Amino acid sequence: MSRLALGLESSCDETAAAVVSADGTVLSSLIASQIELHRPYGGVVPEAAARAHLEKLDLLVEAALTKAGVKLSDLSLVVSMAGPGLIGGLLVAVTYGRLLARAAALPWYGINHLEGHALTARLTDKVAFPYLLLLASGGHTQLLWVEGVGRYRRLGTTLDDAAGECFDKAAKLLGLGYPGGPALEKAASGGNSRRFDLPHPMLGRVGCDFSFSGLKTAVRHKAAGLATPLAAEDVRDLAAATQSAIAASLADRTRHALKLVPTTPTALVVAGGVAANQAIRTALSSIAASIGVPMVAPPLALCGDNAAMIAWAGLERLEAGIGPEDDGHSRPRWPLDPLAGKR
Ligand code: KG4
Ligand code: ZN
C-alpha cells in the first residue's frame, strides 16, 4: 500500500483533518467551518478562531482516521500547515501535529499553506511541472511559476488587497454578508455587469502585479450615489460589475505572466478560495485555450482551505526527498518564494 499522510489545517477559519495516500487518493477530508462563529462580526476574530481550532482538532483527527479506515500506526507521516496565517491558529495544528507524530514515532512536516494550494492540481489532476499558477484567496493573490516541489518563482503579487478580500469587502458593502465571495457570485448571476462603470485594476500595466483597493473604493462610491437601502436590482448589477472587474484584472495579469515565463507551461492552474468562482474559471479557460494548454481548477471542495492539500504537500516533499525540517516554528508570514521582491 502506498504511503499515507495525515494532514492538519488551522491557519484561518477552517479546522481540517485529512488522510491522503501517495497515489493521490483522498481517503478522508473533513472540514469544520467557523463561518457561523464569525458571521456576527463580518470577519474572522483571531482569538475566537484559535479557541475553536483547539476544541475541534482532535475530534476531527479521530473522525478522519475512522472515515479513512486507518489507524495511527498505518500512517507514514503527519503534516501540519505551519503558516502563513493567524498565529493562534497556526500553533494549534503545529503543536498538535508535532506531539502526535512524536507519540506515534512518525516524521512530522510543517509545510507552507500556500504550497498546499500550489500543489493541489497534482493531487487532483496529476499536472506535471512546470505550470503557471494563479493563487487567489482571502489573503493572497499571486502568479507563481511552479518548477518543482519547493521551487516556486513569484512573478507577481498584489500591491494592496487580495482578490478574495475585494470580494468580501464589496459583498459587505452591498449587504451580502459573510463570507462574501460565494454571496457576491450568487448575486452577480442575475445582474447586468455593464450598468456600472468600474475600474479594471492594473489593466495593461507592465509585469503582472495586482491591485484591488481602488476597485473596492470605487464600489463604495457607486453604492453611496444610490438610494439607500440599496434596491435588489442595484445590488445585483453592482455585484456583477465587481465580479467582472476582478475577473478581467486576474485574466489580464495572467496573460502578462505568460510573457514572463521561460517556457510553455504544461497547464494554467488556478487555486485558492477564489478559484471557486465560475466567471474567473471561464476567463482563465479561454486564456489556456489560446496557448493550447488545459486550465486546471480543483473541485470546489479542494479550492478553499482543506487538509487534503496539506497532507499531499507533505507526501510530495517526502517523495522528493526534501525534509522533514523540524524546527517546529509557526510562521505567520511565510512567502512561498523566499527571493520574491529581491530579484
Ligand atoms: O483559500 P481560502 O479558503 O482561504 C484563504 O486562505 O484565504 O479563500 C477564501 C476566500 C474568501 O475571500 C472568499 O470570499 C473567497 O475565497 N471565495 C470566493 C468564492 N468562494 C470563496 N470568491 C469568489 N467567488 C467564489 N465563489
Ligand atoms: Zn487558503
| pLDDT tens sequence across 47-70 | 878 898 889 999 999 999 999 999
Least confident of 72-81, 83-92, 156-165, 282-291: 83-92
Give the per-residue pLDDT at 203: 87
Which tens digit of pLDDT belongs to each residue from 159-182?
Answer: 999 999 999 999 999 999 878 999
Burial profile 303-333: b = 16 or more Cβ within 10 angstroms, e = fewer: bbbbbbbbbbbbbbbbeeeebbeeeeebbee
Report whether 109 contacts 77 (CB < 8 A): yes
Average pLDDT value over all residues in the chain: 94
Nearest bound ligand to the CA of residue 176: 1
Helix-, strand-, coil-residue percentages of the chain, each rounded to 5: 45, 20, 35
153 pairs with which residues across the strands? 145
Percentage of the chain beyond pLDDT 70 is 99
Q: How far is CA 55 from CA 49, 58, 202, 319, in A?
A: 10, 8, 43, 32
For residue 164, which of 51, 57, 242, 55 has the smallest C-alpha distance? 242
The arithmetic mean of pLDDT across residues 275-303, rounded, is 96
- 163 CA from centroid of ligand 1 (Å): 9
- 225 CA from centroid of ligand 2 (Å): 34
CA-304 nearest atom, ligand 1: 3
Nearest bound ligand to the CA of residue 242: 1
Model confidence at 75: pLDDT above 70: yes
Which residues, other chains included, contact 25 with Cβ-Cβ below 8 Å and sequence gap of 6+?
none
Give the per-residue pLDDT at 39: 82
Report residues whose beta carbon is within 6 angstroms of any ligand 1 atom: 12, 137-139, 164, 167-168, 179-182, 185, 272-274, 276-277, 304-305
The arithmetic mean of pLDDT across residues 133-154, rounded, is 96
Model confidence at 340: pLDDT above 70: yes
- 168 CA from centroid of ligand 1 (Å): 8
Least confident of 128-142, 179-193, 318-332: 318-332
Percentage of the chain beyond pLDDT 90 is 80
Taking a 5 Å cut-off on Cβ, the residues next to ion ligand 2 are: 137, 305
CA-179 nearest atom, ligand 1: 14
Give the per-residue pLDDT at 342: 67
Model confidence at 341: pLDDT above 70: no
Grouping H, G, I as helix, E, B as strand and the rest as coil, residue 316 is helix
- 117 CA from centroid of ligand 2 (Å): 7
pLDDT band, very low/low/confident/very high, at 41 (cuts 50, 70, 90) = confident
Give the per-residue pLDDT at 268: 98
- 66 CA from centroid of ligand 1 (Å): 29
Handedness of CA 305, 183, 143, 300 (dihedral sign): positive
